[in-house]
Amino acid sequence: MAVLFQLFIIYIVLLLLSFAVPSLHPILYTTLFLMVAVYVLFTVLVPFARTLLALVEKLPAPTMLLVVSAGLYYMAELLASQMKDEGYGAFGQLFQTVMKIVILTLWFPSISQLIETIYTLIPW
C-alpha cells in the first residue's frame, strides 16, 4: 500500500514538473521512471519473485523457466512501452526482440532435451 502512495506522489511531482519545466519534462520523466522502476523492483517484485520461485521449486524444471520467461517478457514490455511513450518506438521494438531471443536462449537446453527424447522414440 505504501508503494502505491509513493507512486501517486511521483505522479503528482511529474505533473508539477510538466508545467514548471516543460522542456526538461522528458528527461526528468525518464529518470524518475527508471528510479521508481528500480525501487519497485527491489521492494515489491524481488520478494514476490523469491516467494513464487520457492513455490515452483518443487515443480518440474519447465515451470521455473515459465516463471522466469514471464517476468522477463513483462519487463521487456514495460521498458518498450516507456521507450515508445518517449518517441523511441524503434528502440522499444528492438528491445522486445532482443528480450524474446534471450527468453528463447533460456529455453534451448530444455528444447534440445525434448528433441533428443523425441528423436529416440522415432523408429528410423
pLDDT tens, position by position, 18-57: 788 888 878 888 888 888 888 888 888 888 888 887 887 7
* Distance of alpha carbon 103 from alpha carbon 66, whole angstroms: 10
Query: Residue 60 corresponds to which amino acid?
Result: P
Locate the domains of the chain by residue range. 1-58, 59-124
* Distance of alpha carbon 53 from alpha carbon 50, whole angstroms: 5
Over 70: is that where the pLDDT of 95 sits? yes
Over 80: is that where the pLDDT of 14 sits? no
And the C-alpha cell for 1?
Answer: 500500500
Q: How far is CA 29 from CA 42, 60, 62, 67, 117, in A?
A: 20, 42, 38, 30, 50
pLDDT at 35: 85
* Distance of alpha carbon 37 from alpha carbon 45, whole angstroms: 10
In order, the DSSP letters of 57-89 are TTS-HHHHHHHHHHHHHHHHHHHHHHHHHTT-H
Give the rounded percent of residues in the chain with a pLDDT score beyond 90.
15
pLDDT at 82: 84
